[in-house]
Amino acid sequence: MDRTQVVIPAGELERQRTYTRRMAALLAGDRRPLAMVDTYGCQQNVADSQRMMGMLREMGCGFTQDPRLADIILVNTCAIRENAEKKVFGVVGQLVHVKEERPECVICLCGCMAQRPEVAEKIRASYRHVDLVFGPQALWRLPELLYGVYTEKKRVFSVADEHGSIAEGLPVVRESGVKAWVSIMYGCNNFCSYCIVPYVRGRERSREPGCILDEVRELVEAGCREITLLGQNVNSYGKDLETPMDFADLLGEIDRIPGDYLIRFMTSHPKDAGEKLFAAMASCAHVARQLHLPVQSGSSRVLGAMNRGYTREQYLEKVRAARRAMPDLVLTSDIIIGFPGETEEEAMETVSLIREVEYDALFTFIYSPRPGTPAARLPDPASREEKQVWFDRLLDEQNRISGRRHRSYVGKTLRVLVDGESGDSQWPLSSRTHGGRLVHLRGDASLIGRYVQARITGSNTWALFGEAE
């Protein structure tokens, strides 16, 4: 796909701004219109919601979390596992009461679920109170889509299977001045056999480095202290640019931006992570010594069936290389237990891998079949109960490891970023170490947004506890 077909032309974006102005005129009245944006799933969805909130704000909207007060409700959904979808259907089902009471309220479903043809069909047929359905690729056209709903008084579906595009310069509402998400690329080309993402988020496409650098620079100048670069697989950044560059080069460029800030990123695919990336991380002062490197399984046979592109040994070698470059690296991972055809022995290979690697933390999932993916067509003889037993063994092991790793922090004094209030009177602040571990902190709210020295006094499986010095 040629870049000119990927990057949305300025004229198109200007046309959307015309719709924004028309929407603002339509919504204008005695009181400020209110929008509710309800977000499920990953950080990419959070970042997408912030852009949609930006567009809604330009239409004159304020925001609420109460559906009874909202004039426009947007549910931004996740399709990664069946449970996530069930939850959304529950939430959207409940909104029928809002529509009965106030038919003028406009209800929208967007995000990854909306892009699944089965879901769009189900909404069309059985959730008739939903006015607008659009997938992640259509997000930048929100003003035009909403305008269609308001003026044509009919339901709008924009869920065509698209390669995907890049829209620069969309407005944004950030939740905090301290931390921000910056998407550096969209989509995924990996087609891991269990995963729905490549089907709903289109092909990989990288933002121009200049646009990313400008966004990071603006954030740093505005006082932002922690920026997380987002992409389904940041390690394939830049392959599609007219002047190709890779993710390690991008980190080097970002690192040159002066200021007191930290760069994190997610997610890295192990098949594309290597010495060059680890060396860049080690040499860039602004880049956190933190790596989320999802392994998914510790069995080479299962990894093959997952289409992950590496073996257990190759993965372990990458971990060793990363730790050679950064002995203080904080390492986390994603695991799927119960992939179709996985045996108990293979699941235990995963348990032995996490024992060998000793991750700081894990995100663990039981396999969920996603219609349309190759894995969903495989025979899956192990019962849910069996998988649960394997899963619990994995969790037990990881809890022991995380507990031990966290205990090793106690007594140390670390530099942490205070990122907000916790709501807990005993530990009123929340903060993060360089490596991204959560520290519940005693100290004054005036510290929010600042780096402070924290003396670590306690720990549990999930977090650390400390006092600001």
269 binds, among ligand SF4, ligand 5AD, none (CB under 5 to 8 A by kind): ligand SF4
Binding residue for ligand SF4, selected from 232, 236, 332, 430, defined by CB under 6 A: 232
**Closer to ligand SF4 by Cβ: residue 144 or 204:** 204
Instruction: List Cβ neighbours of 9 (8 Å cut-off, separation of 6 or more).
Output: none
Identity of the residue, 205 or 370, whose beta carbon is nearer to ligand 5AD in the bound complex: 370
Torsion angles phi and psi, residue 34, rounded to 5: -120, 140
Residue closer to ligand SF4 by CB (options 53, 303) is 303
195 near ligand SF4 (CB under 6 A): yes
Does residue number 198 form part of the binding site for ligand SF4 (CB under 6 A)? yes
Count other C-beta atoms under 10 Å from residue 382's C-beta: 19
Q: Which does 81 bind (CB under 5 to 8 A by kind): ligand 5AD, ligand SF4, none?
A: ligand 5AD
Report H helices in 178-246.
Answer: 197-200, 209-221
269 binds ligand SF4 (CB under 6 A): yes
Q: Which does 190 bind (CB under 5 to 8 A by kind): ligand SF4, ligand 5AD, none?
A: ligand SF4
What's the closest the beta carbon of residue 268 comes to ligand SF4, in angstroms? 10
Q: Using CB under 6 A, which of the segments 12-20, 189-197, 340-348, 450-458 binds ligand SF4? A: 189-197
Among 42, 139, 145, 188, binds ligand SF4 (CB under 6 A): 188
| Residue in 302, 268, 294 with CA at minimum distance from that of residue 375 | 302
Please count the helices (runs of H) and the strands (runs of E) in the chain. Answer: 14, 19
Shortest separation between residue 183's beta carbon and ligand SF4, angstroms: 14
Q: Nearest CA to 290 among 462, 434, 402?
A: 434
Q: Is 221 exposed, middle or buried (0-12, 13-18, 19+ CB in 10 A)?
A: exposed
Tell me if 197 contacts ligand SF4 by CB under 6 A: yes
332 binds ligand SF4 (CB under 6 A): no
Smallest gap from Cβ 94 to ligand SF4, in A, equals 30
Nearer to ligand 5AD by C-beta: 233 or 402? 233
Classified as helix, coil or strand, 424 is: coil
Amino acid found at 89 = F
- Tokens 């699941």, located at residue: 347
Q: What does the alpha-carbon distance between residue 232 and residue 224 come to, in Å, rounded to a whole number? A: 23
Nearer of residues 77 and 190 to ligand SF4, judged by Cβ: 190
Nearer to ligand SF4, 34 or 195 (CB): 195
**Distances in whole angstroms, Cα of residue 353 to Cα of each of 62, 76, 270, 273, 337:** 49, 35, 15, 18, 13
Q: Does 190 bind ligand SF4 (CB under 6 A)?
A: yes
Q: What is the DSSP letter of 30?
A: S
What the block records as the tokens of 71 is 């004039």
Instruction: Classify residue 270 by its DSSP letter.
Output: G
Cβ-based nearer residue to ligand 5AD, 331 or 454: 331
Residues that bind ligand SF4 (CB under 6 A): 188, 190-192, 195, 197-198, 232-233, 269
